[in-house]
Amino acid sequence: MLRKITALVASAGLLLGLAGCGGGADSDDTLTVGATSVPHAEILKFVKDNLAAKNGLKLEIREFSNYEQLNPALNDGQLDANYFQHKPYLDESNQKTGQKLTFVAGVHLEPLGVYSKKVGDLQDLRQGATVAVPSDPSNEARALKLLADNGLITLKPGAGQNATEKDIAANPKNITIKPADAAALPRQLPDVDASVINGNYALEAKLTPAEDALVSEKAEGNPYVNGVVTKPEDADDPQIKKLVELLRSPEVKKFIEDTYKGSVLPAF
């Protein structure tokens, strides 16, 4: 049986609230899952409202405003699982903290996009333009690859998922790369020439990635699929397996397609 917390111990500044009651945080048969709000908690709420009860799953959803707190909360036993990250981010987090959290299964992709209030075409960026990117290493590398794929910079061979600004081999427009907290990027958009924004934070800021992004990632062969993460000893727990089964169901696939219209893509 999964570990359950017996009291709400998350910081009020980080924990936005509880979505749903389930059987309560101290109920042995309730699965407590942490998530960022859009689209992860929305997808979980669809599961809770439409699929969980009739499939024998009691689900409690806890929304966090700062995604960097979700892995510590899982590792410390405040959660049974979380749903907010892709495997490259998890690998980076495990390496940095010494945690041994496990990626169980992928659910969706949020294409990373480049947004701008200054230009309507990425190629129209001025010489010396400032482009903001997420500051966490895995998403910074992802952002640099997107810029490279669209001809703004060239990365050194082999930079891959660990690319940093030091791996920029050519920068014809002398672009300044400005790393910033991923959640803050939409707010900072008016202050930079362009910004590479995670799909979930773009949606929260009322941007429509499929329409507003100047360029965005392709889904094919993309390693940045978001999925369910838990502790290794819980990876085969029946409740975790049931959650994954429901998140990868035809009903959830249709919900994602109908709700996000290409801004979030099913990965199953």
Q: What are phi and psi of 53, to 5 degrees?
A: -60, -45
**What CATH number matches the domain at 15-110+222-266, 3.30.420.40, 3.40.190.10, 3.40.50.2300, 3.40.50.300?**
3.40.190.10
pTM of the model: 0.77
Q: Which residue carries 């941007």 as its tokens?
A: 207
* pLDDT the model gives residue 200: 86
First to last CA, the chain: 28
At position 6, the amino acid (one-letter code) is T
Residues of the chain within CATH 3.40.190.10 domain(s) are: 15-110+222-266, 113-216
CATH code of the domain occupying 113-216: 3.40.190.10
Reply yes or no on whether the pLDDT at 126 is more than 70. yes
Reply yes or no on whether the pLDDT at 254 is more than 60. yes
SS3 158: coil
DSSP helix, strand, coil percent of the chain (3-state; round to 5): 40, 25, 35
- Which of 103, 110, 106 lies closest to 146 in space, CA to CA? 110
* pLDDT the model gives residue 140: 96
* Tens digits of residue pLDDT in 216-237: 998 778 899 999 999 999 999 9
Reply yes or no on whether the pLDDT at 190 is more than 70. yes
Reply yes or no on whether the pLDDT at 10 is more than 50. no
Pairing relation of β-strands 194-197 and 113-115? antiparallel
pLDDT averaged over the chain? Answer: 90
**Cα–Cα distance between 159 and 6 in angstroms, integer?**
45
Local confidence band at 28 (pLDDT 50, 70, 90 cut-offs): low
Mean pLDDT score, 202-227? 90
